Amino acid sequence: MCEFLKRLIEYWKENLSMRLAAITIAVLFLAAVVFQQYLQNQYLGFLLETSEKTDGVVLDVEADTVSRSYWSDMQTGATLSLEKDLINAALDYLADTEDLSAKLTLTNCIERFVRRNMSELVNTALVQPDGTVVLQKNRAIYNLYSENYLWNETNRPQLEALCLKLKDQLQLDTVPRAVVSSVPNSYTLSVKNATISTARNLLHIAYALPGNQRNAENLKYILVLTFSLTSVDDFFEKISGMEGDYTSACITDESGSILYAQDETWLGQSLDEICGQVRSEVLARQIKDTGWSLNLLLDLDAMKASVNARYIRGVWIFMLVILLIGVLQLILTAHALRPIRRIGKAMKLVKQGVWKTRIEVKGEDEIWKLARNYNDMADALEEWRELNRRQNEEKLQSVRQTADAQMHALQSQINAHFLCNTLNAINMSAAKQGNEEVSMMLRMLSDIMRYAYSRSCEEVTLGDEVRWVSHYLALQKYRLMDVFNYRVAFPEEYLEWPCCKLFLQPFVENSIKHGFARKQSGCFLSVTGEMDGDRMKIVIEDNGCGMTAQVQEKVRDALSPNASMRMEGTGIGIENVAARLRIFYGSRLSMEFQSREGEGTVFYIYLPIPENLSEWG
């Protein structure tokens, strides 16, 4: 052993490459440790600062989204609680609970509402003031209804508490006349004992029936609607998908009690209790008009542990790299010292400046091969740099064009979005003040604007189009002070057909603007649909002033496949709608019209059975 150590010391003294490698390893290792420690502290501060900024922006956006979703659900329930059909059906069933006809009528009323609001509505229940469930309906999934109901004996106390809370609210006689709850927080829907989906982050809203009920003593029925706050689900999914596991989100009420959370074990606890368990920094935003707060918890200990784990991995990587560098230096130095005398002349040329661009190769050993490879690499790198420069310019141009297109698209929708939100705010104010007629008009105007300006889909259902044209005609009638009456009638079994968006609007608008232009009263407009063999026949008929022969010729051209003109005053334009209908239905579409001056005009649109009807369910 002593002999081995003696030889090792002698080799150390004699071998310059070994001494250089050892010194390099020691210096690099010390520098790596110091630099990594500095980076650890800097990264921790940067991570905390960046998280606060980015999470603050996310919270602002999400708080606004949750608020809109909350009030949208409240408005949906308030509208239902005032529907006369539901109120009458509920009173009839209360008068005689053994009457199967009354029960069927009530069931149909609730089912129609469930179908209209399938997106977020999970359960609709009609409850007596003591918490007894009279009738409830689950959301349909794939045209099947869940067999297990949300409200049962297990959660009967929560339902009773919700009803009691509503009665207390009615005694106070404050607006809104509805109360909310978040328990139970989740609900599993199943069909034929098979789990279909699980609705989470539920919002239960209780309304007196009718919705303008002011006296708790006269309360007969309570309408309980359960919605799934999809905006909360989306937010929690985004938070859970972020890098690292030190960020958590929750929503608290006025008292600080947790209503919704990523971790369901937090439900019912206070935010202070959760913060007391771990060292956290809380970012909070108020959710407008709800009294709730959206909170983001940054676990400082977990964040530091994550940074420390990265630091340790970095140290090990640096140690490995430094060790490899030392070994590589030892090898390269040993090989470089052998031919050093052979390349002395070349080194002198380098000192004279010959090396500034390329190394002149004058040998075939390892050093000269390295020099040759260096020259090849430099040439390839120059070619790559030029190619990369051109590609970067092309990508930058593409990104700029895409950004410009997105900005124009955003700017084209922002005004409509602002107007819809403004109308909803005015609508809520009118509803709170009891002006139901203005509130109804504003709701219809907001609905038709949102439908008209929506870019989410170009294909809608026939029911969507019928509801839109009904709202449109109601507003036109209100605007024109009952100059005309109208009728809209379509078979309910065909309202799920896919159809072209806004294809009825030009026809009804043309009747109102041109057909009724010279009349002050007695006008009538009919929009009906019925099956005619294997086609749906849609009839738009008015008793207006009719068309002249010249106008009829233009309309006939507009309805032809070769239409090239645009009629003034028709909004979208009959010829544009005809073209879109032909694109949507192809050669199976058929359109006709008849008009007589002084008697009126009637349009016939024959829609074939959609080929993709099965995809629409």
Check whether 22 has a pLDDT greater than 80. Answer: no
Residue 511 CB neighbour total at 10 angstroms: 28
List the alpha helices (DSSP H) in 541-617.
549-559, 574-585, 613-616
Taken as a whole, the chain contains a residue count of 617
Residue 506 CB neighbour total at 10 angstroms: 23
Check whether 464 has a pLDDT greater than 60. Answer: yes
CA 502 – CA 449 distance, rounded (Å) = 12
Q: What is the DSSP string of 514-563?
A: IITTT-SS-EEEEEEEEEETTEEEEEEEE-S----HHHHHHHHHHHSTT-
Window from 255-264, 273-282, 508-517, 564-573 with minimum mean pLDDT = 564-573
What would the pLDDT profile of 297-326 be if each residue is shown by its tens digit? Answer: 888 777 777 777 777 777 778 778 777 877
CATH number of 460-616, picked from 3.40.50.2300, 3.30.565.10, 3.40.1280.10, 3.10.20.740: 3.30.565.10
Quick one: pLDDT band at residue 334, thresholds 50, 70, 90? Answer: low
Nearest to 580 by CA among 500, 462, 460, 498: 500
* Rg, Å, the chain Cα set: 37
Exposure string of 264-280, with b = 16+ CB inside 10 Å and e = fewer, is eebbebebeebeeeeeb
For residues 46-63, give the mean pLDDT.
79
Window from 45-49, 177-181, 367-371, 415-419 with minimum mean pLDDT = 415-419
Quick one: pLDDT band at residue 601, thresholds 50, 70, 90? Answer: very high
Check whether 229 has a pLDDT greater than 70. Answer: yes
CA 424 – CA 442 distance, rounded (Å) = 7
Q: Contact, 346 vs 354, CB < 8 A?
A: no
For residues 237-259, give the mean pLDDT.
78
Nearest to 224 by CA among 198, 203, 247: 203
More confident residue, 196 or 268: 268
Residue boundaries of the structural domains of the chain: 59-301, 356-456, 460-616
In this prediction, residue 396 carries a pLDDT of 61
What would the pLDDT profile of 62-99 be if each residue is shown by its tens digit? Answer: 888 888 888 888 888 888 778 888 888 888 887 777 78
Quick one: pLDDT band at residue 485, thresholds 50, 70, 90? Answer: very high
Window from 11-25, 250-264, 295-309, 571-585 with minimum mean pLDDT = 11-25
More confident residue, 426 or 513: 513
Its pTM stands at 0.45
CATH code for the structural domain at 59-301:
3.30.450.20
In this prediction, residue 569 carries a pLDDT of 40
Of 194-198, 233-237, 482-486, 557-561, the range with the highest mean pLDDT is 482-486
